[in-house]
Amino acid sequence: MSDETETKNEENVGYDNLRILENIEVNLTVEVGSAELKIRDLLRLNEGSVIELDRLAGDPLDILANGTMIAKGEVVMVGERFGIRFSEIVSPEKKGRKPVASHTSHT
Protein backbone atom coordinates (compact mmCIF):
# COMPACT_ATOMS: atom_id res chain seq x y z
CA MET A 1 0.00 0.00 0.00
CA SER A 2 1.40 3.41 -0.93
CA ASP A 3 1.86 6.25 1.56
CA GLU A 4 -0.77 8.29 -0.30
CA THR A 5 -3.38 5.49 -0.05
CA GLU A 6 -2.57 4.97 3.63
CA THR A 7 -2.97 8.71 4.33
CA LYS A 8 -6.38 8.76 2.58
CA ASN A 9 -7.54 5.74 4.63
CA GLU A 10 -6.47 7.49 7.85
CA GLU A 11 -8.36 10.66 6.80
CA ASN A 12 -11.51 8.60 6.08
CA VAL A 13 -11.30 6.93 9.52
CA GLY A 14 -10.86 10.36 11.16
CA TYR A 15 -13.83 11.75 9.22
CA ASP A 16 -16.02 8.77 10.15
CA ASN A 17 -15.09 9.18 13.82
CA LEU A 18 -15.98 12.88 13.64
CA ARG A 19 -19.38 12.08 12.11
CA ILE A 20 -20.13 9.79 15.07
CA LEU A 21 -19.39 12.66 17.48
CA GLU A 22 -21.67 15.10 15.61
CA ASN A 23 -24.82 13.66 17.22
CA ILE A 24 -23.63 13.83 20.84
CA GLU A 25 -25.55 16.46 22.80
CA VAL A 26 -23.69 18.95 24.97
CA ASN A 27 -25.00 21.32 27.62
CA LEU A 28 -24.34 24.92 26.57
CA THR A 29 -24.19 27.44 29.44
CA VAL A 30 -23.66 31.19 29.45
CA GLU A 31 -21.96 32.47 32.58
CA VAL A 32 -22.74 36.05 33.57
CA GLY A 33 -20.32 36.02 36.49
CA SER A 34 -19.69 34.50 39.88
CA ALA A 35 -19.08 35.44 43.48
CA GLU A 36 -17.69 33.71 46.52
CA LEU A 37 -19.32 34.33 49.88
CA LYS A 38 -19.48 32.83 53.33
CA ILE A 39 -22.47 30.72 54.36
CA ARG A 40 -23.25 33.42 56.95
CA ASP A 41 -23.71 35.96 54.13
CA LEU A 42 -25.68 33.46 52.05
CA LEU A 43 -28.12 32.90 54.92
CA ARG A 44 -28.70 36.66 55.21
CA LEU A 45 -29.88 36.99 51.61
CA ASN A 46 -33.51 37.76 50.97
CA GLU A 47 -35.70 39.18 48.24
CA GLY A 48 -34.07 42.33 46.89
CA SER A 49 -30.53 41.38 48.00
CA VAL A 50 -27.77 42.17 45.50
CA ILE A 51 -24.54 40.20 45.08
CA GLU A 52 -21.61 41.83 43.26
CA LEU A 53 -20.21 39.54 40.56
CA ASP A 54 -16.63 39.27 39.36
CA ARG A 55 -17.44 40.70 35.92
CA LEU A 56 -17.86 44.29 34.78
CA ALA A 57 -21.05 45.34 33.01
CA GLY A 58 -20.44 45.15 29.27
CA ASP A 59 -17.69 42.52 29.53
CA PRO A 60 -18.11 39.53 27.19
CA LEU A 61 -19.80 36.55 28.83
CA ASP A 62 -18.26 33.07 29.02
CA ILE A 63 -19.89 30.40 26.85
CA LEU A 64 -19.29 26.89 28.18
CA ALA A 65 -19.92 23.48 26.63
CA ASN A 66 -20.22 20.84 29.36
CA GLY A 67 -18.39 23.16 31.76
CA THR A 68 -15.48 23.98 29.42
CA MET A 69 -15.18 27.52 28.11
CA ILE A 70 -15.33 27.47 24.31
CA ALA A 71 -16.15 31.10 23.49
CA LYS A 72 -17.08 34.56 24.66
CA GLY A 73 -20.18 36.41 23.61
CA GLU A 74 -22.93 38.90 24.30
CA VAL A 75 -26.62 38.56 25.09
CA VAL A 76 -29.05 39.34 22.27
CA MET A 77 -32.82 39.08 21.91
CA VAL A 78 -34.22 36.41 19.59
CA GLY A 79 -37.91 37.22 19.41
CA GLU A 80 -39.04 37.13 23.03
CA ARG A 81 -36.16 34.94 24.21
CA PHE A 82 -32.54 35.58 25.11
CA GLY A 83 -29.82 34.42 22.77
CA ILE A 84 -26.04 34.66 22.72
CA ARG A 85 -23.90 36.07 19.92
CA PHE A 86 -20.43 34.51 19.75
CA SER A 87 -17.82 37.27 19.62
CA GLU A 88 -14.65 35.21 20.18
CA ILE A 89 -13.88 31.50 19.93
CA VAL A 90 -11.45 30.54 22.69
CA SER A 91 -8.22 28.91 21.53
CA PRO A 92 -7.59 25.36 22.77
CA GLU A 93 -4.73 26.60 24.98
CA LYS A 94 -7.09 28.92 26.89
CA LYS A 95 -10.01 26.49 27.26
CA GLY A 96 -11.13 25.50 30.73
CA ARG A 97 -12.69 27.35 33.61
CA LYS A 98 -10.91 30.30 35.10
CA PRO A 99 -10.54 30.59 38.88
CA VAL A 100 -13.41 32.34 40.64
CA ALA A 101 -12.50 35.69 42.19
CA SER A 102 -13.47 36.35 45.78
CA HIS A 103 -16.08 39.07 46.43
CA THR A 104 -18.27 39.99 49.35
CA SER A 105 -22.01 40.37 49.16
CA HIS A 106 -24.01 43.58 49.28
CA THR A 107 -27.38 43.24 51.02
* pLDDT digits 0-9 by tens, 33-72: 999 999 999 999 999 999 999 999 999 999 999 999 999 9
CA 32, CA 18: separation in Å to the nearest integer? 31
Dump strand ranges (E) for 1-107.
28-31, 50-51, 61-65, 68-78, 81-89, 105-106
Query: Do strands 61-65 and 81-89 pair parallel, antiparallel, or not at all (unpaired)?
Result: unpaired
SS3 51: strand
User: Amino acid identity, residue 107?
Assistant: T
Instruction: Return the CATH number of 26-106, one of 3.30.2350.10, 2.30.330.10, 1.10.150.120, 2.60.40.290.
Output: 2.30.330.10
Domain boundaries, the chain: 26-106
pTM above 0.85, yes or no: no
